[in-house]
Amino acid sequence: MSVVIGFVSQKGGVGKSTLARLIAREYAAAGWHVKIADLDIQQGTSFNWQARRLQRGLEPAVPVERFGTVAQALKVVAAYDLLVLDGPPHATMGTLHIAEASRLTVLPTGLALDDLEPSVLLAHELVRKGVPASRLVFVFTRAGDSGAEEDEAKAYVRQAGYRYVDAALPEKVAYRRASDEGRALSETRFASLNAKADAVAQALIDLITEQQQEEAA
């Protein structure tokens, strides 16, 4: 059965598309038949990233296709092992549709309250509309050098009633450079940064696997 994972956000610039490409790349590297559905038809961030990846002949290939709606994207889901729904940079009705269709919905957020508050409010709204909280997970991005700030962000999300990935992604030029070259976060020139990205990806993969096992039980 195909797996659908969604990436949504209430505001732009928190790493939604970057995380979508990371998880797609890791599954593709493991031999899965993967597609990213880029639902941001205005910017096409992931679609343009794929073009840069193809120009450099990078492997594994990570196919990306633009779709105007979640319903259109879901028409192709049966042809893939994994469909990654990369939502637009601001919450819309389509955001709910992404969460309803996804086995796991990822909400990336920075550590500041300017990012945390709207992200948690979005999660609350999805739950209010019927999406189980167990199918939502936060990933912390743009982390700095302060462990205390990271701990405070985790406490904020935990107190709101949601899960989060323990590993956080730091704000690094090398990650932006990798994206500019059509690479995923796990494909930088620095092993330590690749390891941090791998830790986030593996945590998400573990959550998806856990859900698959629970459904099969």
pLDDT of residue 145: 82
DSSP per residue over 144-164, as a string? -S-HHHHHHHHHHHHHHT-EE
pLDDT recorded at residue 90? 77
pLDDT for residue 11: 81
The tens digit of pLDDT for each residue in 21-35 reads 999 999 999 999 999
Cβ atoms within 10 Å, residue 92: 13
Work out whether the CA dihedral 208, 209, 211, 215 comes out positive or negative. positive
**pLDDT (tens digit per residue) in 39-65:** 998 889 999 999 999 999 999 999 999
Q: Which mean pLDDT values do the consecutive 10-residue runs of the chain (217 residues) have?
A: 93 90 98 97 93 97 96 97 93 90 97 95 97 97 89 98 96 96 98 98 95 77
CATH of domain 3-216: 3.40.50.300
CA atoms within 13 A on the CB side of 211: 20
Question: Can you tell me the distance from the alpha carbon of 134 to that of 211, in angstroms, rounded to the nearest whole number?
Answer: 9
In eight-state DSSP terms, residue 187 is G
Map out the domains of the chain as residue ranges.
3-216
Distance CA 75, CA 19 (A): 23
Burial 21-60 (b: 16+ CB within 10 A, else e): bbbbbbbbbeeeebbbbbbbeeebbbbebbeebeeeebeb
The angle formed by the CA atoms of residues 190, 196 and 197, to the nearest 5 degrees, is 90
Query: Alpha-carbon distance 37 to 15, whole Å?
Result: 16
The pLDDT assigned to 147 comes to 86
Please, are residues 215 and 209 in contact by the beta-carbon 8 Å criterion? Answer: no
pLDDT at 65: 97
- Residue pair 175/18 in contact (Cβ under 8 Å)? The answer is yes
